[in-house]
């Protein structure tokens, strides 16, 4: 599928009747991760997850990844080796070759840019623009777990293995493909910036509004007692890499081994409203995931 690795360009063969998908995502030290908080293997893993998750959100199949990595001279080689190992381990899990990239000396810190190329049958990519009013809105998995881990790190509290979505992010590639193959998802996006922000992208592109039932939003259980995270973390926290999609069809409660939960519906009237347990609606503002900007 991929030749020319190490040449001026990688050469990719696209399956007949397919289109190519291309996505690119930065991972920047002190913006997306901190060396004192995140093991290098995790940083590498999340770097690739960001790209794979975008392919998942189109219902695509990842074909190859490209890594551009800039590292300052004071970053130990062992850090870089472990970063690459985390990335390659995940690439192997998804059978995605690392087909090229670039390396450079950084003027300070670490900057990585991941490119993932994928394929999808012609005309079948699930866009953000495909829903209309009156469809149900679904999410995969549970939300807010990654933001909860980050909140604890910022307070210097211990975070254990129960925060696995933060420390072991996983792109929902199989779920995305299942939803695309069966024509179930009319519009889809991955939750990298947080539900409120990413839902707004679908609403804008599809020219609809949305109502979300606060009680229906599946919140990640954290800590030893699996206590659900605060609603705000589930509504606005990023880096969960779950899928948010709309559908007018029957959707099973589990797809490819992952829980799928209806959380609301698209509406003719613009804007996003959150319906509380008391049935009252209030506007849900997009509070974009700005990573830990401002906290440094």
- Summarize as ranges the residues that interact with a second copy (CB under 8 A): 4, 6-14, 19-26, 28-32, 54-55, 57-58, 60, 64, 66, 68, 70, 99-109, 111, 113, 115, 117-118, 120, 122, 125, 127-129, 188-190, 205, 293
CB of 216 to a second copy, least distance (A): 24
CB of 8 to a second copy, least distance (A): 4
Choice between 27 and 222, CB closer to a second copy: 27
CB of 137 to a second copy, least distance (A): 17
Choice between 120 and 229, CB closer to a second copy: 120
What is the Cα–Cα distance from 173 to 157, expressed in whole angstroms? Answer: 32
Phi, psi angle pair for 13, to nearest 5°: -95, 125
- Listing DSSP states for 191-253 in one string gives -SS-HHHHHHHHHHHHT-EEEEEGGGS-BPEETTTTEEPPHHHHHH------EEEEESS---S
Q: Coil, helix or strand for 83?
A: helix
The radius of gyration of the chain from alpha carbons, rounded to an integer in Å, stands at 19
The beta-carbon contacts of 6-13 under 8 Å, at least 24 apart in sequence, are: 6/100, 9/100, 10/64, 10/66, 10/99, 10/100, 12/63, 12/64, 12/99, 12/117
Choice between 165 and 172, CB closer to a second copy: 172
CB of 227 to a second copy, least distance (A): 32
Which of 268, 290, 271, 269 lies closest to 282, judged by CA? 271
Choice between 140 and 214, CB closer to a second copy: 140
CB of 253 to a second copy, least distance (A): 24
CB of 177 to a second copy, least distance (A): 14
Choice between 19 and 213, CB closer to a second copy: 19
């Amino acid at each position: 599928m991929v030749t020319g690795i190490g040449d001026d360009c990688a050469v990719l063969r696209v399956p007949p009747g397919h289109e190519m998908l291309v996505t690119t995502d930065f991972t920047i030290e002190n913006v997306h991760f901190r060396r004192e908080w995140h093991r290098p293997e995790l940083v590498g893993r999340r770097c690739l997850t960001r790209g794979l998750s975008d392919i998942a959100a189109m219902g695509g199949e990842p074909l190859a990844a490209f890594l551009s990595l800039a590292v300052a001279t004071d970053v130990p080689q062992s850090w870089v080796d472990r970063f690459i190992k985390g990335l390659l381990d995940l690439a192997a899990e998804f059978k995605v070759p690392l087909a090229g990239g670039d390396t450079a000396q950084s003027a300070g810190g670490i900057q990585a840019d991941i490119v993932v190329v994928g394929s999808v049958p012609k005309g079948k990519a699930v866009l953000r623009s495909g829903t209309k009013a009156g469809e149900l809105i679904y999410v995969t998995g549970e939300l807010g777990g990654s933001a909860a881990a980050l909140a604890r790190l910022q307070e210097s509290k211990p975070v254990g293995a129960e925060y696995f979505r933060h420390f072991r992010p996983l792109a929902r590639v199989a779920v995305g493909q299942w939803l695309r193959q069966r024509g179930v998802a009319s519009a889809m996006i991955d939750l990298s910036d947080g539900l409120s922000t990413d839902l707004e992208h679908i609403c804008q592109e599809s020219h609809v509004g949305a109502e979300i039932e606060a009680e229906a939003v599946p919140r990640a259980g954290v800590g030893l007692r699996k206590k659900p995270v605060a609603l705000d973390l589930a509504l606005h926290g990023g880096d969960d890499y779950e899928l948010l999609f709309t559908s007018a069809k029957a959707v099973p409660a589990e797809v490819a081994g992952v829980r799928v939960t209806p959380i609301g519906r698209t509406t003719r009237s613009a804007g996003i409203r959150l319906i509380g347990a008391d049935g009252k609606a209030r506007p849900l503002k997009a509070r974009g995931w700005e990573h830990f900007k401002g906290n440094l």
